[in-house]
Amino acid sequence: MKYAVLAVSLLTASCISPAEQKLRDQTACIDYGFELGSQAMASCLQTRDENRLTRTQAAILDAGNSLQSQGQSMILNSNLMMLRRW
């Protein structure tokens, strides 16, 4: 059996640092009119983080469904994804 191992980052959907992602989120929330340190800002940041996680999870599930239709399976373990050909 052949195995291919792919590293999958669940923290971000793109190749940017956590610090850069935080800055982008803060900038977006400030652009929405929220003030740093306010409860509204915290809620905005949390919502953006949750939305990003949801998009990442959906992309992983879509990839798994695509692989399954090709006769492969995907095993998720923390931040590591293993693909197995049948």
Report the alpha-carbon distance of residue 21 to residue 60 in Å, rounded: 20
Each of the 86 residues of the chain gets a pLDDT tens digit; together they read 333 333 343 434 458 899 999 999 999 999 999 999 999 999 999 999 999 999 988 888 887 777 666 666 555 554 444 444 44
Domain span including residue 77? 3-11+19-85
Report the alpha-carbon distance of residue 25 to residue 59 in Å, rounded: 21
Q: Interhelix angle for 39-69 vs 18-31, to 10°?
A: 120
Q: How many domains does the chain have?
A: 1
* Residue 3 pLDDT: 34
* Residue 43 pLDDT: 98
* Residue 83 pLDDT: 46
